[in-house]
Amino acid sequence: SLEKVFARLELGTVGSEVAGIFDGEWKNGAGSDVLTSRNPADGSTLATVKSATADQVKQVIAASKKAQREFAKVPAPKRGQIMRDLCDEYMRRKDALGALISYEMGKVLTEGKGEVQEVIDVADIAVGLSRSIKGNVLPSERPGHVIYEIPNPLGLVGIITAFNFPVAVHGWNFCLSFIAGNANIWKPSPTTPLTAIATTKLIVSVLERHNLPLALASLVCGDVETGQALTRDERVQMVSFTGSEKIGKVVAQDVAGRLGKTLLELGGNNAAIVFEDADLSIAVPGVAFAAIGTAGQRCTSTRRLLLHSKIADQFLDRLVKVYQGVRDKNLIGDPIQDGIMCGPLHSSAAVEKYWQTIEKIQATGGKVIFGPTSRQEGASVTASGKGGGNYVIPTICQPASSTDQVFQEEVFAPILNVAIFDTLEEAIELNNGVPQGLSSSLFTRSLENVGIWQGSLGSDCGIVNVNVSTSGAEVGAAFGGNKSTGWGRECGGDSWKQYSRWATSTVNSSNQMTLAQGVKFDA
Ligand code: UN1
């Protein structure tokens, strides 16, 4: 039960006020804003948390800065040993934390646990990296000289996360940033403070065990004022932001205004392309998972379905059967219950956006292929035993044309918009013809198509999959997107390099002062 989950995570009593600031000690926010953590399955209040004021954020930054100066003395492999313990702690708490994610965010339990697993996986990468975050040794053109490129800690990293992955996205950043030697200040989504508080408690328990300064894992719960105090403070060297394009722009400008670094993961408007030669037994469940899973609330969710004209009808027949199954076998429901495939939307505002989008598609000449055509119709299907929850039915629409405005926007709800194409070139043009560039999938059996899709004239997204869903990436490779998605890369690949302050050091061990580029200076 929820009470048990709260007890296991040391979160106090359900419904009570919980302290949402940590900088070595737990403090209550002094802001007038009160953040309410709600269970999206029934609208009930899980807890309230007071916002941190700008002054409080300044104090937290000072404490974290002090902590970082201590931590900078700890060798990277030693940081790795601490990370290994942290990884174990996430494993030990995986079920409880996964359940809290389900209660507070609304995703189904298997996905809540999967999200914690993503942190465990990144922590594994970070442990390994702690012995291999290597710089370079380069030959110098000058006799007796050597050039080094050395990674040092960056200093302070601000991590601002969204509601949809309330644990994983912080973990991706924290683990790499930690083994790079940084202190971190986390501002979670205003609607998922509890998972952030529980996660911080988990991390702090490990720091305590190692006698490390606790403000290496600081937390500031709050909304706009709290976030801006973090993004505008020049003591914070980098801000990693995950969220909407709209807020991302403000964050990017605030941080750029003081010439700080940003790492952005913003909107996705991801297309799955099903070519005429696709293996439909892979393509149908692949599309269904990415469009229905997490109730369409992943940055990587499939929002656009581009179908080759030759298989469009057949594909849609099969896909509609999957959607029907989810609706009619009562697989939309309380995310904490076994076997549920689609939980509620996170907020009632998202439900409203879902309806507005369906209405807009129909008002502009498009049609609903599967799902409710009106609020009345929707209500009659979802009302049964789902009192107060933000439930919607995963829906497939076909807008009037493939160039319709609705294809340009990311709507965080399970609405899949269909367009038909005849050639791969046309499909790639549609795929690339949106502002966002996070994820994309091509379902095909042709090697030639794969080459084009991955290559210079192919998909312009950061994730370019073949016969694999747009969502559900593994953390071993770099994760992130291009264009209005913000160009950031997190998790694997070379992502760790961004959390370091690089020093290029030319060392002269000869007894001559020699200049590069043949320049003469005879003093
Ligand atoms: C997100 O939606 O912000 O690839 C992250 C995926 C997950 C991460 C999604 N591994 O769907």
Q: Is 118 known to be catalytic?
A: no
The DSSP line for 163-200 is: SSSTTHHHHHHHHHHHHTT-EEEEE--TT-HHHHHHHH
Are 318 and 434 in contact by the 8 Å Cβ rule? The answer is: no
410 CA distance to ligand 1 middle (Å): 15
pLDDT at 250 (0 to 100): 98
Q: What is the pLDDT of residues 193-252, one digit of tens each?
A: 999 999 999 999 999 999 999 999 999 999 999 999 999 999 999 999 999 999 999 999
pLDDT at 384 (0 to 100): 45
pLDDT at 81 (0 to 100): 98
Query: Active-site residue among 115, 265, 410, 490?
Result: 265
- Residue nearest (by alpha carbon) to ligand 1 atom 3: 299
Exposed/middle/buried for residue 91 (C-beta within 10 Å: 0-12, 13-18, 19+): middle
- Report how far residue 381's alpha carbon sits from residue 393's, in angstroms, rounded to the nearest whole number: 8
pLDDT at 239 (0 to 100): 98
Report the nearest atom of ligand 1 relative to the CA of 268: 2
136 CA distance to ligand 1 middle (Å): 32
pLDDT at 10 (0 to 100): 84
Q: What is the pLDDT of residues 427-479, one digit of tens each?
A: 999 999 999 999 999 999 999 999 999 999 999 999 999 999 999 999 999 99
141 CA distance to ligand 1 middle (Å): 45
> What does the CA dihedral 358, 359, 360, 366 come to, rounded to 10 degrees?
70
Residue 19, both tokens: 């302290």
pLDDT at 380 (0 to 100): 57
Task: Kindly give, in sequence order, each residue whose CB lies less than 8 Å from that of residue 224, ignoring residues fewer than 6 positions away.
Answer: none
- Report how far residue 45's alpha carbon sits from residue 183's, in angstroms, rounded to the nearest whole number: 32
167 CA distance to ligand 1 middle (Å): 11
Instruction: Report residues of the chain scoring pLDDT below 70.
Output: 380-387
Mutate to test the pocket of ligand 1, among 300, 346, 479 (most ligand atoms within 8 A of CB): 300
Report the nearest atom of ligand 1 relative to the CA of 290: 11
Residue 327, Cβ neighbours under 10 Å: how many? 20
- Report how far residue 341's alpha carbon sits from residue 291's, in angstroms, rounded to the nearest whole number: 12
Residue bearing tokens 């502002």: 435
pLDDT at 94 (0 to 100): 97
Vertex 111: Cα angle to 167 and 290 (nearest 5): 110
Question: What's the whole-model pTM score?
Answer: 0.97
| DSSP state at residue 237 | -
Q: What share of the chain is helix, strand, coil (3-state, %, to 5)?
A: 40, 20, 40
Paired residues of 504 in beta bridges: 149
Give residues (CB < 6 A) around ligand 1. 118, 164-165, 169, 242, 298-300, 471-473
83 CA distance to ligand 1 middle (Å): 22
Selection from 27, 25, 23 nearest residue 60 by Cα: 23
- Residue nearest (by alpha carbon) to ligand 1 atom 7: 472
pLDDT at 11 (0 to 100): 83
ipTM of the complex: 0.98
pLDDT at 386 (0 to 100): 62
422 CA distance to ligand 1 middle (Å): 30
Mutate to test the pocket of ligand 1, among 265, 479, 491 (most ligand atoms within 8 A of CB): 479
Report the nearest atom of ligand 1 relative to the CA of 118: 10
Mutate to test the pocket of ligand 1, among 115, 469, 470, 471 (most ligand atoms within 8 A of CB): 471
Selection from 429, 431, 456 nearest residue 442 by Cα: 431
Report the nearest atom of ligand 1 relative to the CA of 439: 4
Are 294 and 164 in contact by the 8 Å Cβ rule? The answer is: yes
118 CA distance to ligand 1 middle (Å): 9
pLDDT at 383 (0 to 100): 45
Report the nearest atom of ligand 1 relative to the CA of 471: 11
For residue 451, the one-letter residue type is G
